Structure 1
Amino acid sequence: MEKLLSLVVPVYNEEECILEFISQVRTELVNSSVSYELVFADDGSNDNTVCLIRDEIENDSRIRLVELSYNHGKQAALTAAVTYAKGDYLLYMDPDLQDPPEEIARFISKIEEGYDLVFGVRESVEASFVASAFSKAFWFILDVFTGLKLPRPLAVMRIFNREFANRFLSYKESNRFIEGIFMHIGMRQATLKIKHRPRFAGVSKYNFARKLRLAKDAILDYSELPLKLATRVGIILVITSLLAVLTLTILRLFFIDFQLGWPSLICTLWFGFGINLLFLGVIGSYVGKIYSESKHRPLFSTQRLTNIKQS
């Protein structure tokens, strides 16, 4: 029985790339024996992305579109695309063409060796010095705090089978760090080295601030290290403060006659209050995540489905 390939593609303000992306995918798959569908999930674009995809659907029944009601974030958009995809294999891609469509055939061949998930790993990265530095800082933070052993340099492009997709959809948390979920699912995983190209057009939606937020979410979702560090620092501060009080008392009684003044007291209180607020903030972040999860809200809200039949 012929297998169906679903390309799941989250999009947000990609009018400059989307038509070229569709064209290149068609070129790669038109002469292959693979049946495929293109499932786009629009994350609240405010440009012509949706209109361009709808125009393509008029001429190609293999293209499908999920329109989210507002900007949920890339993680929710990917989840929406996976939810409505029908394929036996699902290939996750970005429309910016940094991960080239000509690698699709190699991904299919690799997963047919018996794997459940195949990560794309870039042979080299075409990026500016600043972008490269930001990326290295992002992955360093993740490595230190989460302990997730993600392949590097990780590409967006990856393929997984239907069983893996179903397990992915069983993860209902609203704070979704996709790579963390993929690693937590486990199963049979492999990597595939692929080419990397500069972005076809436009600018990346993932600037350093967004990457920092993603790193923070990943840390809160997959690590208790901040809480452990807060506890350890608290213990160290208590011990050092007691030693400081003991030292000052001994000096005052036996060695040096000096006046203990307000400045030292104020500085000590200031430092103590600052540490308390910092750790309350860490605890508050975890409590906020727990509160968010406890509401059990849907992972995404759809505004419109185009060329998709709901089962």
Structure 2
Amino acid sequence: MDISIVIPAKNEEEGLRKTLPKLVEAYPEAELIVIDDGSTDGTKQVCQQHGAKVISHSYSKGNGAAIKSGARAATGDIIVFMDGDGQHDPEDIARLLEKMDEGYDMVVGARGGLSDQASVARWGANSVYNRLASWMVNKEIPDLTSGFRAVRRKKFLSFLYLLPNGFSYPTTSTMAFFRAGYSVGFIPIKVFQRVGKSHINLVRDGVRFFLIIFKIGTLYSPLKVYFPTAVGVAGIGFLNYLLAWATSGSLRFTNMSSVLVLAGMIIFLMGLLSEQLTNLQYKDVDSDPED
């Protein structure tokens, strides 16, 4: 199988020193690309020692930006994305590719429970993501945010314009594939303790957590999020009206009831508009991005 292995890396010298020899030994014919995202250590030198193609960013642009640079440079029919911190086992690549042979367009290496997560906070956040995304697509998603995945290159390239430059590229790409009607599969993997220090910041990425919640909805089906919200807000307005009627006997809408009902209508209309805009986003996904 013609594959490219793409690894985004920022100051991952030690992790790559552990991972690259295993990749070269297991997949000598694969195209091996490492994106050096503004590293200040020996990341580039380690990659060159092991024969990997290095794409260097002059400054750190983010994990998603590195992924996009690697995807543009890759020439294989299938791209395997994995982290450079030693968490992912190169032997699992074969399992990803076997699943791809079953007709899937994207296969994600799904981590297990708390023991496979970097922290309790990240495990909790990922659990919320997985539940919300599973509800959105009506299919169980065991791990929405895993960075270890195999994709069909041409289909992945058609979604590059959607991907953020930060850390939420796995969420965005997975939901985009589901929305376009492509087949997404999952296989269980075991992850190792990362080598070196994590680049995740609790405060900054806590804000990102809430933004991703909204992104999940808007990427797949905004109306599925907006409609129940609209019904809930308008329902509270009608409930307030009934309580006012029961206590005062007046059939007139109170200001609060009117505001809540109108807010529910506005939220519904916003969802309807967002649904149409989302449809426009995916209208050209079947076209060849290299044409």
Q: Give the TM-score normalised by the residue count of structure 2.
A: 0.70
> Which string of whole-angstrom CA distances, capped at 9 and with x for unpartnered residues, describes residues 19-62 of structure 1?
2333333322333454123323455x4x515xx34324554543
Residue 167 (structure 2) aligns with = none
- Residue 178 (1) aligns with residue 167 (2): no
Deviation at 1:148, TM superposition (A): 5.5
1:6 aligns with 2:4: yes
Query: Is this contact kept in 2: 1:39–1:66, CA < 8 A?
Result: no
Structure 1 residue 136 displacement after superposition:
1.9
| Higher normalized contact order (CA 8 Å, seq sep 6+, divided by chain length) | 1
Q: 1:96 to 1:212 in 2, by over 3 A?
A: farther
How far, CA to CA, are the matches of 1:79 and 1:140 in structure 2? 27
Does residue 1:78 correspond to 2:74, yes or no? Answer: no
Give CA-to-partner distance per residue, 1:68-122, whole Å, 9 cap, x none.
7763x54443233212111232111122222222323433444356544322123
**Closer/same/farther in 2, CA of residues 95 and 62 from structure 1, 3 Å limit:** closer
Which has the higher Rg, Structure 1 or Structure 2?
A: 1
Residue 143 (structure 2) pairs with residue 149 (structure 1): no
Given that 1:41 and 1:77 are in contact with CA atoms closer than 8 Å, whether structure 2 keeps it comes out as yes
User: In the alignment, which residue of structure 2 is the partner of 1:28?
Assistant: 22
Q: CA deviation at 1:202?
A: 0.7
List aligned pairs for 1:101-120, cutoff 5 A: 101-112=90-101, 115-120=104-109
Contact 1:6–1:39 under 8 Å retained in 2: yes
Q: Name which of 157, 162, 169 aligns with 1:169.
A: 157
Give, in whole Å, the separation in 2 of the partners of 1:211 and 1:231. 23
What is the aligned-residue identity percentage?
19
Paired with 1:166 and 1:180, the residues of 2 have a C-alpha distance of: 17
**Structure 1 gaps, min length 5:** 253-264, 295-311
Q: Does 1:19 align with 2:17?
A: no
Q: How large is the RMSD of aligned CA atoms in angstroms? A: 4.2
- Counterpart in the other structure of 1:98: 87
Matched position secondary structure for 1:139: helix
1:70 and 1:200, CA in 2 relative to 1: closer, same or farther beyond 3 A?
closer
Against the structure 1 CA distance between its residues 28 and 217, is the aligned structure 2 distance closer, same or farther, given a 3 Å change threshold?
same
1:220 corresponds in structure 2 to 218
Unaligned runs of 5+ in 2: 165-171, 281-291
Taking a change above 3 Å as real, the CA distance of residues 27 and 69 of structure 1, as seen in their structure-2 partners, is: closer
Aligned counterparts, 1:204-243, within 5 A? 204-205=199-200, 207-223=205-221, 224-243=223-242
> Is the contact between residue 8 and residue 78 of structure 1 (CA under 8 Å) also seen in structure 2?
yes
- What is the number of equivalent residue pairs in this alignment? 267
Post-superposition offset of 1:230: 3.8
For the residue of structure 2 that corresponds to 1:101, the secondary structure is: coil
**Cα distance in structure 2, aligned partners of 1:129 and 1:115:** 31
- TM-score relative to the length of structure 1: 0.66
3-state DSSP of counterpart to 1:192? strand
Q: Give the one of 139, 145, 165 matched to 2:130.
A: 139
